[in-house]
Each structure stands twice: as C-alpha cells, then as structure tokens.
Structure 1
Amino acid sequence: MNSHIEQLFINYVRDNKNQLYILAYSYVKNEQDALDVVQDSIQKGWTALDTLENQHQIKSWLYKIVVRTAIDFLRKMKRIQVTEDDTLNYLSEQQQDAYRNVDLESALENLPFSLKQIIILRFFEDLKLEDVANILDIPLSTAKSRLYKALKLLKIDMEDEEKIHHG
C-alpha cells in the first residue's frame, strides 16, 4: 500500500474526527453507537485504502463508508426498514406530539430517511449535490428531486408550526 495515501488517510481522520462523529450521530442518535460506527468506518476505510482512486475524494469516499456503516448498524438494530421503493424509513418509536414546539431538528426527524440523508449531507456537512449523490450511490437527478421534495416538506412543516404558534 502507498505510504503517502496511508499518511493522507491518517491526517484526514485526525483532522476530521469530529465531523465523522457528527455524521454518524446524525444517523444513530446515540453517543456510544456513533463512536462505534466511526471506529468501524475508520477500520473499513483503512483496509479498503487501495480502492481510493483519487486522493482528492477522500472526504466523500470516507463519508460514504460512514453512511453505509451507520445504515448497516441501524438495520442490525432493526431501527430502520427498507420499503418497496428501497428508500429507508425510520420505524416511528412514538407518535410525535403535534403541538409541541418543533424546530428544524425535529422537523428533520419527521422526514423519510432517504430525504433526511440528503439534507444532512448537503447542508449540515456542506457537500456538493454531486458528492451527496456519490456517497448515497444514487443518480444526481434522484438526489436533486429528493432535495427538492425534502425542502418542500420541511417548509410545509415549519409553516404549519408557525400557524399553530402564531395563528
């Protein structure tokens, strides 16, 4: 294995461990689980370093590993299910109280998993939509339509809240 790539990987992980943790946490919603996901992802990344074709893509390559590891973890824990159209949805743990104050984070929680992923990667991780599509292994057109749909749903959700609290 190329020692330059190894060093690049080590430096990237060291400099970005917080972002990797936050990304994992945005999926698993638990500190210890997020740490486990990051640790597994780093291990998988290290053993798959020879599959990194372009060192400038290390961020999206490693994010893809973290996202897949988090999704695998959630599947194992039976916290998500795959629906017919192969989009992932959280099994709702309890019905949301419709009248409590909803901020962006809880509005995000109400989105289907496939839409929430797009919002997290695009806005919270500040990735280009092309990178988001690459990380999630979906066509760019699908990423665009999911982003549009998610933003529309979030806007409606936020507007409903405004009406409840100010109407």
Structure 2
Amino acid sequence: MMRKKQEKIFIEFIDQYKKRFYLLALTYTKNEQDALDVVQESLSKAWKSFPTLKDHSQLKSWFFQILVRTAIDFLRKQKKICLMEDDQIEYFSPNQVDTYTNIDLHTALNNLPYQFSEIIILRFFEDFKIEDIANILDIPLSTAKSRLYRALKLLKIELVEEAANHE
C-alpha cells in the first residue's frame, strides 16, 4: 500500500513539472534529444532512490539536484567523446565574432559563463530559493549568493553593452 502512495506522489510530481524538467535540461545540453535523454536518466535515478527520500516536501529541490547533476555528468561525458572537425574548431574559436542585430535575454544568458547562467536559471526561471540552489549545486550558501550577485552584474553589463551597440 505504501508503494502505491509513493508511486502516486512521484507520478503527480512528474506530471506537474515535466515541461520544466525538459527546459532546464535543454539549457544545459542545447539539444532537444540530449535534453530528453538527461530527463529520462534523471527520472530513472530518482525513481530508484525515491523510497529513500524522507521528506516529500523536499521532492522538488531533491529532483532538480538529480537533474542538474545528471546534466553536468552528461556534458562531461560529451566533452570527452566529442571530436571536432577543423571547420567546427574554427567556428568555435574565440577569434570568431558573432554579429547579431538583436540580442535577447536567452542569448545573453548563453554568453555568461556556465556557473553564472545556471544560478540565474535556477533562481529566476525555476523560482528556487537561494538556499535550495546551494543545495542543488552542492555549493556553500555564501558561494551561491556571490555567484548570483556576480551573474546579475555580468548579465546587466552584457545587456547594457548590447543595447548601446544598437543605438
């Protein structure tokens, strides 16, 4: 009977947040299929360890922690096995300058270093408290706060500079 109740809680949770799972995974992977793979693997991991979760009120931050770590692991694996062609290396080279006529928040976030964009996404797009973000990313609270402050500062600079370039 207890298993049925846990199953129901887990399924309702998935139904409620499945789009957000996908969108968060997509921000990490930048690829639809990879994002779906990350979500699927995260759900599998969560289901296996769900019976060990003591407080179901922490389900959201607990799962997002699994999702973020799975996405990071996925990116690390991809980095190891990704072989680039010469033209791809040239495309990704720092000497290449992108020219956009209109920059938006999404592009500005992508231009931020990874550790800063993930803080912004978790705080403002996923509505996590800074304490939950520190837990999800497995960093001290003070580090989470300083990264958020720095990320907002960098984001503001990025957006102001781009706006000035278009005036």
TM-score range, shorter chain: 0.7 to 0.9
Question: Who is 2:22 aligned against?
Answer: 21
CA distance in 2, matches of 1:138, 1:159: 30
Bigger radius of gyration: 2
Q: Are 1:151 and 2:138 an aligned pair?
A: no
Q: Percent identity?
A: 58
Q: Alignment RMSD, CA only?
A: 1.8
Where in structure 1 are there 5+ consecutive unaligned residues?
80-91
Question: Who is 1:89 aligned against?
Answer: none
Where in structure 2 are there 5+ consecutive unaligned residues?
81-90
Which letter does structure 2 place at the counterpart of 1:128?
Answer: K
Alignment of 1:63-142 (within 5 A): 63-78=64-79, 93-94=92-93, 95-97=96-98, 100-142=101-143
Which letter does structure 1 place at the counterpart of 2:156?
Answer: K
Which letter does structure 2 place at the counterpart of 1:62?
Answer: F
**Which structure has the highest helix share of the two?**
2
Is the 1:24–1:66 Cα contact (8 Å) retained in structure 2? yes
CA shift in 2, pair 1:57/1:153, >3 Å: same
Question: Who is 2:84 aligned against?
Answer: none
Which letter does structure 1 place at the counterpart of 2:106?
Answer: E
Is the 1:107–1:158 Cα contact (8 Å) retained in structure 2? yes
CA distance in 1, matches of 2:99, 2:113: 17
Which letter does structure 1 place at the counterpart of 2:165?
Answer: I
C-alpha displacement of 1:99: 5.2
Q: Which one is further off, 146-155 or 7-16?
A: 7-16
C-alpha displacement of 1:101: 2.3
TM-score (norm 1): 0.86
Question: Who is 1:41 aligned against?
Answer: 42
TM-score (norm 2): 0.86
State the SS of the aligned residue for 2:58: helix
Q: Which one is further off, 70-79 or 94-103?
A: 94-103
C-alpha displacement of 1:98: 5.1
